[in-house]
Structure 1
C-alpha cells in the first residue's frame, strides 16, 4: 500500500474512533495521557520552602531586636545571631547553586542550646534542642504523683465509691466471683444463695435469682471454678453440691457410711462440712473438709466416690477436725487448718504423710477460719480464731514471718486475702452489737504495719474478696449486706456497669372495668349486646316467659301432677304427717294387738289357715300360774 492510501484511510479510522467513543460513552477515547514534569514540581517546592525559611528567620531577628537582654537568655540570643547569619549565608549560597543536593526543605531545624546556665558558644550533643526551658522544668507534679502511686500501695486501694447489695437480714457467710468478674454469688445464714449480674442490673441493684440449694443448712462457702461455668456450694450438711451458672444442680457428693470407723473406707463425708475450694488448674477437681476428720478431693465426673482422702493427725496420732482448706496457687499442695491450732500441708499426690507441718501455728482449740496463698505462691496467710493474723514462708515453716494480734473474730469463716500485687494483706474484724463498726484492715506484707482501714458498717465483717481483674473489693457483713468498693479510674467494669443505669419503671397491668369479651370480626348474630342500662334489661326479662316464670302456688286438697297437697308438698312429709305422727294409737301395744284378736280367730287370713290341721289348741292357766309364781321363793324369781 502506498502513502496516498494510508493518508486516505486515516480520516476513516478517526471517524470510526469517534463513532465508537460516542457509542460506548467514552468522552476521552483516543486522547493521550497527561504528563507531569516532576523536576519542575520539585524545584518549585524547594524554592517555596526556602522563601518560608527566610521569612521565619527575619521574624526571629525582629523579635530578638525588640527584646531586652536577660541573663538566662543572653548566651542563647548571641548564639542565635551567629547561627542565623551563618544559616542565611548558607541559604543564599544554596539558592545560587541549584544543583546541590544538601539544600534544606521546609522550616529550619531548631538550634542546640542548653536548658539553663551560661553558654560559651559551643554546643555539645547532650544539650537540649530548642529554646531554653523555664527553671524547674522536668519536675512535673503529675509524674511525682505517678511515682508515689507506684511506691505507695495504699493509693491503689479502690475505696472511693461503694454500692450496697441487700442479701437479706442475716449474716452473709459466703461470697464468690467468677474469673471474668461478671457475676457475683452470695450465701448466708438464711439458707439463700443469690445471683447478681453486674451487666444486667440497674441502679435498683436487685438479684436476678434466689434459691435454697441445701434446704435448711447454712451456706459456708461459694466459689466459681477456674473456667467460671460451675459453682461449688459448701453448706452445713455432709454433701457438697455443684451448680451451674443459672443455679441448676450438676453434682451432689455421695454421703459416707457413718458406722465405719476408718474414714478412708467410706465413699464420702459423714459429718458437717467446714470448707471447700476448686483446684486452680484442673477445672474438674475440687476439695472439701469436714468434721469427720478428713479432707477429700472430688472429681466432678465421678459423683459416686471421692478421689482422694487426707487425714490430719495430732502429735499423738489422734484424729483432728480440719476447719479450713485450700490449694496452693500451682495446685501441687493442699493445706488445712485444724482445731488443735496446727497447719498441715500435703503433696497432692501423696496423702499419707504431710509435706509441711506446723504444730503451734495458733492456740490449740481455736478454729483457723481461713488459709490463703499469695500470688507468688511462697507465702501463706492464716486467720486464726485466737484473734491473730499470721504469714508463713512454706520453705521455712517453723516460725511465722509476721504476726498481727488484737483482731477479733466471732465467725468460723472470717476471711483474709492478698491484694493483686501481693503488697497488702486484707482481713476482717468482728464486733459485738453496739460496740462499734466492723472494719476492713490492710497490712503491709513486708513490715506488717497497718497501712489503712475502712469502717464498713455497725456489724461484724465476715467475708472479703479482692478481684484482680476488676480491682474491686467485695465485703460480706453480719447484717445481711454485700458492699462493693470500687474506684472509677482504677477499677474496671463490675459495679461501674450497673450504677450508671436508671431504674426500670414497673409496667402496670391494664385492667378492664367490665369483663366483656370483644370479638370485632364476629357476625352480628353472634355478637353480644353490651349492657347499657339495667332498667331496660329488666323490661326485656319481663317479656320473656322463661325468665318471668311465676312461682307455682301451694297445692290445696289431695294434690295433683305428682304433688301432694299437704305440709311441704313431698311424699316424706305426707308419711310423717299421716302415719308416723298418728295419735290414734294407744300407748299400750299389747292392748292394740288384742283388739284385733277376736277378728283374727273368726276370720283367719294370713297365718291361721296354713296351720289349721296341725295347730294345737292353746290352754291358758292364768290363775294357777299366778299362784305358783307367788309361792316361789324370792331367790328363784327371775330378775328383770
Structure 2
C-alpha cells in the first residue's frame, strides 16, 4: 500500500477526532466510571478512628492541664498526622488503582480553567503549622475559642429571654384623663389603634393613638346607656363593632364611631322560667365576644342566666345557660367568658362556684367547681390562658387562683391578700403566657393601688407597679402592642410601654407636639334676623363660618389689616390710647385732677389773690372807667345780730 495514502487517512482520522472534541460528543462511547466500595469503607473507618482519638486526647489535656500532657498530646498529634498522611496516601493509591482505567480518559478532558496553584499548595500544606509554636497550655484553635465566646453571649441572651420580668413594658407611661369617677371598662381593638374607656360617670370616650398629640385628648365622648354605669367594653375580633354592657338589662353594640348598631331586647319579667323570655330581665354584670365567630357575643345578668346573642337578630337570644347551686336553686353569674377556641363557656357565680358548659350543650355543665371562692363573694373575672389549658379566676374574697380544666377539683395555685373592692377587677395573662397580672384596691388616702405580676408556674409575686393613689380596677395587656392599659378608681387610664419592646400605640402620640388653636383672621358680623323686612333688604343667612371667612379674605376692605394702637404722644394726626376724641381727653384730665371741688365758693376764691395781683382778663379792660368799690362798715349791732339765732333774725 502506498505510504502517502496511509498518511492521508491518519490525517483525516485526527481531523475527525478534533472535530468530535469540538462538537462535544467525543466521550459518548466511553465506559461508565466504577468505584471501589471496599476502599471507601476502609477510609471512612480510619477517619472515624482518628477523629475519636483526637477528641479523647483533647479532653485528657483539658482535665489534667499539665505541660507533660501537652507534650504527649503534641506527640500524639504528630502521630495522628502521620497516620492521616499514610491514610491519605493509601487512599490516593487505592483510588488511583481503582479508577486508573476509568479516569485516564476523563483527566485528559477537564472543562474550564485550571485550578490556581495557591489553592493546590494550600491543600497540600493543610497539616503544616504556620506561625510561632503554640503555648503548652493551649488546647484548641482560635476559631474554637471564638465559638465558645459566642456561645457564652448566647447563653446570657437566653437567660434574659427566659426571664419574663425583663419583658414587662413599664419604663414609660402616659395618662389619659377619662373623668373624675372610676374607670370601670377598657377596650382595645385587635390592631391596637383605638382605645375605649367607660366609667361610673356614664361616659364612653374614644381615644385614637395615631390621631392624638401630646395633649392626649379623646376625639369623642358619649353616653350610650344614658344614666347607667358602664360595666364592660370590648371590641369584636374584627374591630368594627363594640359591645357595651351597662347597668341596665339591655346590652348595646356600637360601631367604631359610636353609632348604635344593635340593642338587645328586654325580656318579660313576669315569666318565671328565664329560658322562655326573649332577653334579660335584670341588671347586666358582664359580657364578651366570641373569639372565632364575629357575630356572636355573650352576656350574664342578675336574672340568673347567661345568654348568647347573634348580631344579625336582635329579637331574641341565641341560647340560654342557667347556673344552679348544689340544691338546684338559681344563682347569679357575676362574670362570664369564652375559652380561646370558643368551645367552652365559663361563668363565675355569687355562691363561689365556677361553672363551665359546652357551647352547644346548655343543660348540664361540663366542668363544675363547687367551692372555687368564698360563697357570697363576687367573682370579678375569669380568663383563659393562651394555650387554653389554664383558667384564672379573680375572686371577691381577695384571692387569685389558677385552675387546670382537665382536673377541675382543686386549684393549681392560690395567691391571697389581693384586696378587691370592685365587682369588675381584672386579671389577664401576658402575651408569652408566663405571667399573670391583676390589680389591687385601696381605700381613699390609704396607700397606692398596685399592678401585681405573678409567675404562672411558681406563682411567686415577681414584680409590682405602683399606679396611683387609688384602686386599680381594669388591666389589659395587648399582645400586638406589648403595652399594658390600666383603669383606676380616680378616673385615669394609664398606658405603660417600652420604647424598644413595644410597638405603635402610645409611641405614636408622645412624639407629636400640641396643635395650635386656629384663630379667625377676621371678625364675622352677627346675623341680624328681620322677619318683616322685604326680601331685597334681608341678609343672607350664613350657612358656614368658614365659607364666610374665605369670602371676607377676598374682600380688600375686610381683609385690610387694622392699624396697631398708638403708643406715646401720637403721630400722624392720631392721639395715643388715652383718647381719640376731645371729650375722652378732657375726661382723662379731669380724672387725673386731684383737687377737691365739693365747695364751689372755695374753689373760686382760691384764685382771688392771684387775680387781684396779676389781673389778665377782666380787670385791665375796666382800669380807666372802673370806680373804686365802697363797702359798708360793720357795726356792733350787726355783730350782735350775727350772734342771734336764725329764727330771731329780722327778715329784710
By the TM > 0.5 criterion, same fold? yes
Q: 1:215 aligns with which of 226, 250, 256?
A: 226
Match of 1:154 in 2: 165
Q: 2:141 aligned with 1:138, yes or no?
A: no
Q: Give the conservation status (yes or no) of the 8 Å contact 2:499–2:507.
A: yes
Q: Give the conservation status (yes or no) of the 8 Å contact 1:112–1:127.
A: no
Q: Give per-residue Cα distances to partners, 1:116-158, cap 9 Å, x unaligned.
A: x97599x9xx975x779689743655x3442122211000111
Match of 1:230 in 2: 241
Match of 2:503 in 1: 492
Q: 2:176 aligns with which of 147, 151, 165?
A: 165
Structure 2 distance, partners of 1:356, 1:285, is 23
Partner of 1:138, secondary structure, is helix
Query: What does 1:22-421 correspond to in 2, within 5 Å?
Result: 101-104=114-117, 128=141, 137-138=149-150, 141=153, 143-421=154-432
Structure 1 distance, partners of 2:553, 2:401, is 79
Q: CA deviation at 1:509?
A: 2.0
Structure 1 regions of 5+ residues with no counterpart? 1-70, 80-98, 523-531, 536-640
Q: Give the conservation status (yes or no) of the 8 Å contact 2:188–2:194.
A: yes
Structure 1 distance, partners of 2:122, 2:507, is 48
Partner of 1:326, secondary structure, is strand
Match of 1:446 in 2: 457
Q: CA deviation at 1:515?
A: 8.2
Partner of 1:146, secondary structure, is helix
Q: Give per-residue Cα distances to partners, 1:468-524, cap 9 Å, x unaligned.
A: 0111100000011111111111111111111111111111123449889999999xx
Structure 2 distance, partners of 1:457, 1:346, is 39
Higher helix share: 2
Structure 2 distance, partners of 1:472, 1:278, is 21
Structure 2 distance, partners of 1:100, 1:272, is 88
Query: What does 1:581-596 correspond to in 2, within 5 Å?
Result: none
Task: Number of aligned residue pairs: give it.
Answer: 431
Structure 1 distance, partners of 2:553, 2:247, is 61
Structure 2 regions of 5+ residues with no counterpart? 1-66, 79-111, 528-547, 556-572, 575-579, 582-652
Q: Give the conservation status (yes or no) of the 8 Å contact 1:425–1:443.
A: yes
Q: Give per-residue Cα distances to partners, 1:348-370, cap 9 Å, x unaligned.
A: 01111111100100000000000
Residues 508-517 or 183-192, more deviating: 508-517
Q: Give per-residue Cα distances to partners, 1:56-85, cap 9 Å, x unaligned.
A: xxxxxxxxxxxxxxx99xx9xxx9xxxxxx
Structure 1 distance, partners of 2:231, 2:312, is 23
Structure 2 distance, partners of 1:326, 1:227, is 18
Runs of 4+ in structure 1 deviating by more than 4 angstroms, as ranges, are 104-114, 117-121, 130-136, 513-522, 532-535
Partner of 2:335, secondary structure, is strand
Structure 1 distance, partners of 2:519, 2:122, is 73
Structure 2 distance, partners of 1:167, 1:265, is 40
Structure exhibiting the larger radius of gyration computed from Cα positions = 1
Q: Give the conservation status (yes or no) of the 8 Å contact 1:187–1:193.
A: yes
Partner of 1:497, secondary structure, is helix
Q: 2:437 aligns with which of 409, 413, 426?
A: 426
What TM-score results when the alignment is normalised by the length of structure 1? 0.62
Match of 2:536 in 1: none
Query: What does 1:458-469 correspond to in 2, within 5 Å?
Result: 458-469=469-480
What TM-score results when the alignment is normalised by the length of structure 2? 0.61
Match of 1:568 in 2: none
Residues 505-514 or 100-109, more deviating: 100-109
